[in-house]
Amino acid sequence: HCKLSVLGGSLHFEWGNSLTVCMHDVSVSQCIVCPRGALLATCSGDMCQVWDAPTGECIFKFKHETTGVYAEFARSGDALFTCDTRAWYEWDMTTGECTARIRKVGHVYALSPCSSLLATGSEEGSAYLYSLAEQRHVFTLDGHSKTINCCVFSPDGRAIATCSNDTSCRVWHANTGQCACVLEGHSAEVTHCAFSPDGSTLASCSQDMTCRLWHAKKGECVKVMEGCSDKLAASAFSPNGAQLAVWS
């Protein structure tokens, strides 16, 4: 059981009955919990730090080339992925070593469920797929004509969905980089997309103030949800896929 609070450069977290305060030189911009247990990662300025939650001990410090650092744990908890404005990095959570560095292309990204692939989306409308193990570019996903706002892997890692300011979403085969289907119907920029937990449905949010549900393989729109009074920014399915939350 863990409770977190952030105030400026101070991170307060409760683990069991203990309270720990960790200090940063500048404001903490992000704090995440490792899926496998008692590790926390915090981002501040050009630094990402990994902490042992029960003791508050700083285990690793990862200094980056620029500020604006963002972090995400692998689902296995064995690795931490970070990025700054120049590159993506993979860090081993046993040794603290940097095991991969890929020059950053794009402004949004997604990790595959097994953390072997990295997908990025660019302001120019192209998406890119990288192999983290081989530290190389695998495919370029061309098709969108304007900025890509979101990219996401399906739960099984076999598909990638992207959405764009060109008002469309696209679903791609992760193993070939080929476009499987184009999802068209929104009348304004599509800001976010998300797969349902079973991967059968894709939700898309748009500045046209609607959320659409699509058959992820066929590309058919199965439902249009209207009634919002503002442009939609993002959505998320409940763990069982029965509910969908949207926000503006």
Report pLDDT for 129.
97
Looking at the structure of the chain, the number of domains it has is 2
Look at the alpha carbons of 132, 241, 122, 71 in this order and tell me if their dihedral is positive or negative: negative
Instruction: Let me know whether 111 and 91 are in one domain.
Output: no
Residues 157-173 have pLDDT tens digits of 999 999 999 999 999 99
Judged by phi (left if over 0) then psi (alpha if -120 to 50, else beta), residue 39 lies in beta
Task: Indicate the SS3 state at residue 236.
Answer: strand
Q: SS3 letters for 127-148?
A: EEEEECCCCEEEEEECCCCCCE
pLDDT value of residue 57: 86
pLDDT for the residue 228: 87
CA torsion, points 229, 233, 238, 239, in degrees to nearest 10? 180
- The last residue of one of the domains, among 34, 69, 104, is 104
Q: How far apart are CA 206 and CA 188, in angstroms?
A: 6
Residues 73 and 147 in one domain: no
Question: How far is the C-alpha of 143 from the C-alpha of 164, rounded, in Å?
Answer: 10
Query: pTM for this structure?
Result: 0.86
At 134, which CATH number? 2.130.10.10
Question: Are 116 and 99 part of one and the same domain?
Answer: no
Same-domain status, 207 and 109: yes
The structure tokens listed for 155 are 């739960």
Do 139 and 47 share a domain, yes or no?
Answer: no
Residue among 222, 129, 238 at smallest CA distance from 183: 222
Q: Are 151 and 70 contained in the same domain?
A: no
- Give the residue numbers spanning the domain of 82: 1-104
Q: Residue 164 and residue 10: Cα distance in Å, rounded?
A: 37
Ranges in the chain, pLDDT < 50: none
Considering the domain architecture, whether residues 44 and 109 belong to the same structural domain is answered as: no
HSE-CB of 201 using CA atoms within 13 angstroms:
20
